[in-house]
Amino acid sequence: MDTAFTHTTVLLYATVNALVNPDFYSKDSTIHLPLSGMRAKGVYVDGTFGRGGHSRYLLSQLAPDAQLFVFDKDPLAIEEAKQLQATDNRVQIIHGGFSTMKEALHARGIDQVQGILLDLGISSPQIDDARRGFSFMKEGPLDMRMDTTQGMTAQEWLETADVEQIKEVIKNYGEERFAFQIAKAIESRRQSNPLRTTLELAELVAATVRTREKGQHPATRTFQAIRIYLNDELEELSRTLSSILSLLAPEGRMAVISFHSLEDRRVKQFIAQAANPAAAFARMPLRESELPQPTLKNLGKVSASKEEVAANPRSRSAILRVAQRTEVTL
């Protein structure tokens, strides 16, 4: 396994605090400091193991008889998880996306858990490794798959998708206002010299986008959109959020870290609807006893501290949202 790429875990202390500390309060500045040792009991899930930063610290706060199930699509992440498992038998590894969480846990006799963590998007090692094709700053193959053992690469998709599909993907998943122009440029290019590398795509987009956002590469939104589409990221997130409710035990916590508005919007709306389901019936003549009861309690959101942003600029856009399962039966 290539260990040349490092990863600084975002919102490390706040996220684990949110999962295991019964006194967690999102506005408390001390949540950004190390915990003194919670020894939380039960079953926990890290749905996005990555390079294991959250999992390692979470394990330090779990009781000796607790369990931690870790999921990841990335084969390199699974190899990293195996190294952790070799030193801690509380770790159980599942090679798969977090949308398989409910079925995978049920197959292993787990019906309810005390905490679920999702750290959405891609990790620093995935970005920094040019061979993965996620970076528009480094020369590499147009891959962009989280799981390199299956699925269509970005190169294959760009060679076969029609202009309308490419436009819709870049517009909807990248919120790129020049989506049509980029799609037309890709179509024109592939007729003579199909795109093969990340820099070729980045240069094509840069030449097509007429105005640039301050501090952002013109290809940022296009690369984000293609990656999200190929890995089914938003749809997988929606499927997973709906399954979390049935997995969390009463007073169990969910902690989700998002890095852009498309992800965060879905998480925010999901928590809001579960925390206040009666809002959907506000105009209907129903008694209070007839209204649906909250299945989640919104515990708030957390952003990186100034100190963390200074030490790790990639944490600047991170938003952690936390919710707790109520006693209401689904």
Q: State the binding site for S-adenosyl-L-methionine.
A: 52-54, 72, 98, 119, 126
Q: Where are the beta strands (DSSP E) in 183-262?
A: 248-258
Rg of the chain over CA atoms, in angstroms? 21
Longest dimension (CA), the chain: 67
d(CA 86, CA 89): 7
Contact yes or no for 68/91 (Cβ under 8 A): yes
CA distances from 244 to 10, 36, 117, 271, 295 (A): 22, 28, 10, 11, 11
Contact yes or no for 51/123 (Cβ under 8 A): yes
Pairing of strands 319-325, 248-258: antiparallel
Pick out the residues of the known binding site: 52-54, 72, 98, 119, 126
Q: Where are the beta strands (DSSP E) in 19-90?
A: 43-46, 67-72
d(CA 123, CA 125): 6
d(CA 109, CA 114): 15
User: 31, 108, 20: which is closest to 71 by C-alpha?
Assistant: 108
Ramachandran bin of 144, using left for φ above 0, alpha for ψ from -120 to 50, beta for the remaining angles: left
User: Dihedral, CA atoms, 60, 61, 65, 67, nearest 10 degrees?
Assistant: -80
